[in-house]
């Protein structure tokens, strides 16, 4: 019989590396989808998957055995995605000096490269640009709801936010996505 998430986390907390493979088998696709939806970059998303499970191994002892593993991993994945996004933003900013307040917009509306254009559909590229245009936490709320279908309560737990803040963030994100994707049809 397959070991439960709880058993696997217990083994990880005791430093048993063999528990990583079954845990990754079970959760890495979901972690990958979160990271990909957030970062919109295949390589970065793959790095986030690795970072997430390395962190899970490091901090397994801190996992609360009364809670589910999925949301705990989602929380790590979101934090890792935000960190990576910030690093990338800083890196770009250091190469492309911009006027104050322009960094964010530049990242959100940048033109895709010819390779990216060839590889991705127009829909995908427009969605990517629209998502990148959302503030970090709003984007996380939106991704967790619309890509992973977490409930608002779960999202509040994952992001350490109040339920009311999650609701208003989701509303603003939907409003902004609507504006940015206007005219685009699936």
| The binder of another protein chosen from 2, 43, 66, 160 (CB under 8 A) | 43
Among 53, 52, 61, 58, smallest CA distance to 13 is for 61
Helices (H), 14-162: 20-39, 42-58, 69-95, 103-109, 114-119, 122-132, 136-146, 152-159
**Among the residue ranges 49-57, 62-70, 76-84, 86-94, the one whose residues contact another protein (CB under 8 A):** 49-57
Other beta carbons within 10 angstroms of residue 103's beta carbon come to 16
Taking the mean position of all CA atoms in its chain, how far away is CA 185? Answer: 25
147 touching another protein, by CB under 8 A: yes
163 touching another protein, by CB under 8 A: no
14 touching another protein, by CB under 8 A: no
| The binder of another protein chosen from 4, 6, 7, 50 (CB under 8 A) | 50
Taking the mean position of all CA atoms in its chain, how far away is CA 60? Answer: 20
Taken in order 128, 29, 46, 90, is the CA torsion positive or negative?
positive
| The binder of another protein chosen from 74, 129, 144, 170 (CB under 8 A) | 170
| The binder of another protein chosen from 145, 157, 158, 159 (CB under 8 A) | 145
83 touching another protein, by CB under 8 A: no
CB of 98 to another protein, least distance (A): 24
Burial class for 71, CB neighbours closer than 10 Å (0-12, 13-18, 19+): middle
| Residues in touch with another protein (CB under 8 A) | 15, 17, 20-21, 24-25, 28-29, 32-33, 36-37, 40, 42-43, 46, 49-50, 53-54, 57-58, 113-115, 120-121, 123-124, 127, 145-147, 151-152, 167-168, 170-171, 174-175, 177-178, 181-182, 184-186
């Amino acid at each position: 019989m397959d070991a439960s998430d709880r058993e696997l986390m217990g083994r990880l907390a005791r430093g048993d590396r063999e528990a990583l493979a079954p845990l990754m088998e079970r959760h890495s696709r979901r972690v990958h989808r979160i990271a990909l939806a957030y970062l919109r970059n295949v390589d970065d998303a793959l790095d986030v998957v690795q970072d997430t499970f390395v962190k899970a191994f490091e901090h397994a002892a801190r996992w609360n055995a009364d809670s589910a593993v999925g949301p705990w991993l989602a929380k790590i994945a979101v934090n890792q995605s935000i960190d990576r996004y910030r690093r990338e933003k800083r890196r770009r900013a250091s190469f492309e000096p911009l006027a104050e307040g322009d960094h964010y917009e530049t990242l959100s509306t940048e033109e895709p490269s010819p390779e990216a254009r060839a590889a991705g559909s127009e829909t995908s590229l427009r969605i990517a640009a629209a998502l990148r245009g959302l503030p970090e936490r709003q984007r996380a709320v939106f991704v967790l709801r619309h890509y992973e279908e977490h409930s608002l309560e779960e999202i509040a737990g994952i992001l350490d936010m109040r339920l009311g803040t999650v609701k208003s963030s989701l509303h603003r994100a939907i409003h902004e996505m609507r504006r940015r994707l206007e005219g685009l049809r699936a």
